[in-house]
Chain A
Amino acid sequence: MKVLVTAKRVIDPYVKVRVKSDGTGVETANIKMTINPFCEIAVEQAVRMKEAGIVTEIVVVSIGPIQCQETIRTAMAMGADRGILVEMAEEAQPLAVAKILKAIIEKEQPRLVIMGKQAIDDDSNQCGQMVAALLGWPQATHISNVTINGDTADITREIDGGLEKLTVNLPAVVTADLRLNEPRYVTLPNIMKAKKKPLENIKPDALGVDVKPRLKTLKVAEPASRSAGVKVADAKELVAKLKNEARVI
């Protein structure tokens, strides 16, 4: 079966993000970028399913500026077979991303779409659910396990109080949570191999979808900082402070 995975290019999670001085956005010039960690888990899942003989082809899609080719090459170095870049300079909001993916999925006809549960830049946690909705497919978000059984998939989801078990009909959209797997490191030979894999570059216009943003960002700012605390010597002093100063116990 064919699987489609997505790979968003984001600011590296270990970089301290800075707001531009004019409050219009965050600094991205000369900042280290990477594949969204949850997308990386999604790619890893697809590759493992291919290694297990369940999946025959992995198509990876990224949406954004031309540099997203690097993100796609990373996914290919992990084991994805073919890439599609939907090139757009402006920000694609989740609904626009979902519409783009729907158009590509209708053309590619995968049996399963695996995405990250959220991108660590805008923290929206929307795209997978929206894609499933627009296609009329079932969804399983925040998954920690997926087993394919013919025309259905058995799913374990991470929920607030523990785990949830679902069976979804295929085709379906699933979104990866942290414990689904531990992504592999890409090796140099695989990076070289990835450079030869096919990568198609298309524009949103070619897909005939409306990608106009619906949300206007009026300003961005850093959150209010906390007032400075104090170092205490030991447990005894701490308990005294918590009782008499903070009055929380």
Chain B
Amino acid sequence: MAILVIAEHDGKNLKPGTTNTITAAGKLGGDVTVLVAGHNCAEAGAAAAKVKGVAKVLVSDAPQFEGALAENITALVLSVAKSYTHIVAPATGMGKNFMPRVAALLDVQQISDISSVVSADTFVRPTYAGNVMATVQSSDAIKVITVRATAFDPAGDGGSAPVEALAATPAAGLSKFNGQELTKSARPELTAARIIVSGGRGMGSAENFKILEPLADKLGAAVGASRAAVDSGFVPNDYQVGQTGKIVAPEMYVAVGISGAIQHLAGMKDSKVIVAINKDAEAPLFSIASYWIVDDLFKVVPELVTELG
């Protein structure tokens, strides 16, 4: 077994999700090589070398890898793919984007979003918004896998893997990266937060949504939202938690004014403690909540802020 993990990073550090993916890769049984591709990404390569369980780091540093364009990253991964039995990446925005391209060009059926490794060729993955867990076995020679980060613990520090340069493949010339507009926030990232405060349709408006901020401040929490809140224009799409948004599993998830559609539960039901605040006593979210309050959120949220002191 030889496993290649494709890292997601910001040039300096590994993004949350990559170290969990390294843990998943370790369960396949074999040497784990981490590929760090980017522009000016030497620091991220050094960070990957320190992760426990990593045997080798490949760094490919070139302008065409800025923005991780799927066409360009795919070409690079294909240049080394045949040396590995498994190619693994986190099922994040980046991994979802380029990995199926790699799989198709290797003539391999990708296994998306695995939540458990049964053996080197058999995996469990959630389907139907996490309501059905499918155990699937791959017959392909190379397994191309994306990993649900919340299902695996992050690998810690303690490694000292050698770092090698990998020759860059040329730009595909099919697309051009024009930049990113990242949501600026002093809060932790949703997928890395220990606590998340999330609002739904019950918040009523973008203005009202802001009452969650003092609560998030008190808890040191990230702020998330249901699809209904995004659809209603209360918050940007990158707040979305759910089947088609982000999958999270924090220590505590506080759902405010969220009724709990299947699609939302899919994104947060593995949180350790779930708190639900909703005035509708029949809200489906109560069925999975650890604690719930049936009351007007506009009364309870400020009271919570006061109680937290």
A123 B100 Cβ-Cβ under 8 A: no
CB-contact partner of A238 in B100, B112, B275, under 8 A = B275
Interface size class of B (residues with CB under 8 A): 35 or more
**Is A165 part of the contact surface with B, judged by Cβ < 8 Å?**
yes
A238 B93 Cβ-Cβ under 8 A: no
**Is A168 part of the contact surface with B, judged by Cβ < 8 Å?**
yes
* A19: nearest chain-B partner, CB-CB: B132
A121 B128 Cβ-Cβ under 8 A: yes
Enumerate A113-164 residues with CB–CB distance to B below 8 Å. 117-118, 120-134, 137-142, 144, 154, 158-164
Shortest C-beta distance, B199 to chain A (Å), equals: 17
Given A138-B71, A229-B274, A238-B275, are A133 and B132 neighbors across the interface (CB < 8 Å)?
no
Given A94-B100, A121-B128, are A234 and B308 neighbors across the interface (CB < 8 Å)?
no
B129 A178 Cβ-Cβ under 8 A: no
Distance A215 CA – B237 CA, assembled complex (angstroms): 32
**Is B182 part of the contact surface with A, judged by Cβ < 8 Å?**
yes
**Is A88 part of the contact surface with B, judged by Cβ < 8 Å?**
no
Contacts of A226 in B (CB 8 A): 269, 274, 288, 290
**Is B67 part of the contact surface with A, judged by Cβ < 8 Å?**
yes
A248 B251 Cβ-Cβ under 8 A: yes
**Is B293 part of the contact surface with A, judged by Cβ < 8 Å?**
yes
Contacts of A238 in B (CB 8 A): 275, 291, 293, 304, 307
CB-contact partner of B306 in A19, A26, A235, under 8 A = A235
B67 A93 Cβ-Cβ under 8 A: no
* B245: nearest chain-A partner, CB-CB: A178
Contacts of B275 in A (CB 8 A): 238, 242
Distance A158 CA – B246 CA, assembled complex (angstroms): 12
**Is A216 part of the contact surface with B, judged by Cβ < 8 Å?**
yes
**Is B292 part of the contact surface with A, judged by Cβ < 8 Å?**
yes
B128 A123 Cβ-Cβ under 8 A: yes
Contacts of A216 in B (CB 8 A): 136-137, 139
* B112: nearest chain-A partner, CB-CB: A124
Shortest C-beta distance, A100 to chain B (Å), equals: 13
Binds A, one of B22-30, B47-55, B101-109, B154-162: B101-109
Contacts of A35 in B (CB 8 A): none
CB-contact partner of B135 in A158, A159, A214, A218, under 8 A = A218
Distance A195 CA – B98 CA, assembled complex (angstroms): 39
B238 A158 Cβ-Cβ under 8 A: yes
Given A162-B182, A166-B176, A226-B288, are A236 and B132 neighbors across the interface (CB < 8 Å)?
no
Contacts of B138 in A (CB 8 A): 214-215
**Is A177 part of the contact surface with B, judged by Cβ < 8 Å?**
yes
**Is B85 part of the contact surface with A, judged by Cβ < 8 Å?**
no
**Is B153 part of the contact surface with A, judged by Cβ < 8 Å?**
no
Given A124-B112, A129-B101, A138-B175, are A163 and B133 neighbors across the interface (CB < 8 Å)?
no
**Is A223 part of the contact surface with B, judged by Cβ < 8 Å?**
yes
CB-contact partner of B238 in A126, A160, A169, A213, under 8 A = A160
Given A129-B97, A137-B174, A235-B307, are A217 and B293 neighbors across the interface (CB < 8 Å)?
no
Distance A11 CA – B132 CA, assembled complex (angstroms): 13
**Is B263 part of the contact surface with A, judged by Cβ < 8 Å?**
yes
**Is A66 part of the contact surface with B, judged by Cβ < 8 Å?**
no
Q: Chain B binding site: helix, strand, loop or mixed by DSSP?
A: mixed
**Is B289 part of the contact surface with A, judged by Cβ < 8 Å?**
yes
**Is A95 part of the contact surface with B, judged by Cβ < 8 Å?**
yes
**Is A219 part of the contact surface with B, judged by Cβ < 8 Å?**
yes
Interface string of B173-189 (1 = CB under 8 A from A): 11111111111000001
Given A120-B243, A160-B92, A160-B238, are A235 and B132 neighbors across the interface (CB < 8 Å)?
no
Distance A124 CA – B113 CA, assembled complex (angstroms): 8
Distance A79 CA – B306 CA, assembled complex (angstroms): 54
CB-contact partner of A95 in B74, B104, B113, B303, under 8 A = B104
Enumerate B19-73 residues with CB–CB distance to A below 8 Å. 67, 69-71
Contacts of B273 in A (CB 8 A): 242, 246, 248
* B96: nearest chain-A partner, CB-CB: A125
A163 B128 Cβ-Cβ under 8 A: no
B107 A95 Cβ-Cβ under 8 A: yes
**Is A89 part of the contact surface with B, judged by Cβ < 8 Å?**
no
**Is B214 part of the contact surface with A, judged by Cβ < 8 Å?**
no
Distance A144 CA – B240 CA, assembled complex (angstroms): 14
Distance A124 CA – B166 CA, assembled complex (angstroms): 30
A239 B308 Cβ-Cβ under 8 A: yes
Shortest C-beta distance, A69 to chain B (Å), equals: 24
B238 A133 Cβ-Cβ under 8 A: no
Enumerate B218-236 residues with CB–CB distance to A below 8 Å. 219, 227, 230-231, 236
Which residues of B pack against A, CB within 8 Å?
67, 69-71, 74, 92-94, 96-105, 107-113, 122, 126-140, 172-183, 189, 191, 195, 219, 227, 230-231, 236-238, 240, 243-244, 246, 251-252, 262-263, 269, 272-275, 286, 288-295, 300, 303-304, 306-308
Not counting A131-B104, A133-B104, a sample of 5 additional A-B residue pairs whose C-beta atoms are within 8 angstroms of each other reads A126-B103, A142-B96, A221-B132, A229-B291, A234-B295
What 9 A-B pairs have minimum CB-CB distances, sorted nearest first?
Answer: A214-B109, A138-B174, A129-B100, A235-B303, A130-B104, A126-B100, A165-B178, A133-B104, A133-B101
